[in-house]
Amino acid sequence: MTENDLNPSGEFERTPGGAILMDGNRLRDEIVARLNERITALGNPHVCLATVLVGDDKPSQIYVRNKRKKADEAGMVSRHVELSADISQADLEAAVSELANDPGVHGILVQLPLPDGLDAERVLDLLPAEKDVDGLTERSMGRLVRGRDGHVPCTPLGVMRLMERYGVETSGKSAVVIGRSTLVGLPQVLLLGRKGCDATPTLAHSRSGDLAAICRQADIIVAAVGVAGLVTAEFVKPGAAVLDVGISRTAEGIQGDVDFDSVQELAGAITPMPRGTGPMTIGCLMENTFNAARMLGALPSS
């Protein structure tokens, strides 16, 4: 905890309703600063994150630019490969294979989604598990399931880091994860239930009966389904921690899965949207890249 997280009464920053505000921007920047300190202390060794961007999708361009910026701030080398939207599958795979085989590249991020007509799974299959810093491949998921050393998908890892940082108790607690994607929902359940975290997770989804009743039993709610404003005060037990991962683009702008205004009146801790779980995805990408360099022998193992 830093002084910047505290209000004059000596407590974490809180919402008008009294919930602890879990600030992802602040924690992301703390993670990046700590990584910079560690890399500097090691003599500024070469740690390289390679990003691959296909096409001219504006949000994807922004996401990649922000990731490269934070890599620079962490003291890492940022290598960028930008390809046209009409690239062939074979040429895209050749470009990714070149990075996969380059010993000077430690982490590879292929920005998704890819343009129509390109098979993302075939591209991701080319990534060595050690360089899969997004944690998206079946090998990375298998390592997570088996409890082996590997990279955890950045968004669910960011959720865990926020709870650790803001003192959300997990051991023996009930957690509900709404959404069953392989990117967030499934790995989130695994992280919450594994030894050391020791929560009792429930995976809920669009087919779950009486979703509000299921969530009201939970000490922790992770909303990751992409339905704007789905989680209202009706879903929340007083004092529960609520983490909003879902993003929807609506006529009113970008919205999360959580109706922040009503939920913050009941929650014990809550993430804002934006400034919540989104920035943590980038922070944990930097953490995974540092660990990738260690796994590949570019950094000391401890």
DSSP per-residue string spanning 60-108:
HHHHHHHHHHHHHHTT-EEEEEEE-TT--HHHHHHHHHHHHT-TT--EE
Told to judge if 67 belongs to the known catalytic residues of this protein, a careful annotator would answer yes
Q: Which two tokens stand for residue 225?
A: 């389904």
Residue that the structure tokens 């360099």 belong to: 293
Q: Which of 5, 134, 219, 259 is catalytic?
A: 134
> Catalytic: 188?
no
One of 5, 70, 111, 219 is an active-site residue; which one?
A: 111
217 is catalytic: no
Cβ neighbours for 108, distance < 8 A, ≥ 6 positions apart: 49, 50, 52, 96, 99, 100, 127, 131, 132, 133
CB 154 within 8 A of CB 140: no
- In whole angstroms, give the CA distance from residue 229 to residue 218: 18
Pairing of strands 220-223, 200-204: unpaired
Q: How far apart are CA 89 and CA 117, in angstroms?
A: 8
Query: What residues are annotated to the active site?
Result: 67, 111, 134
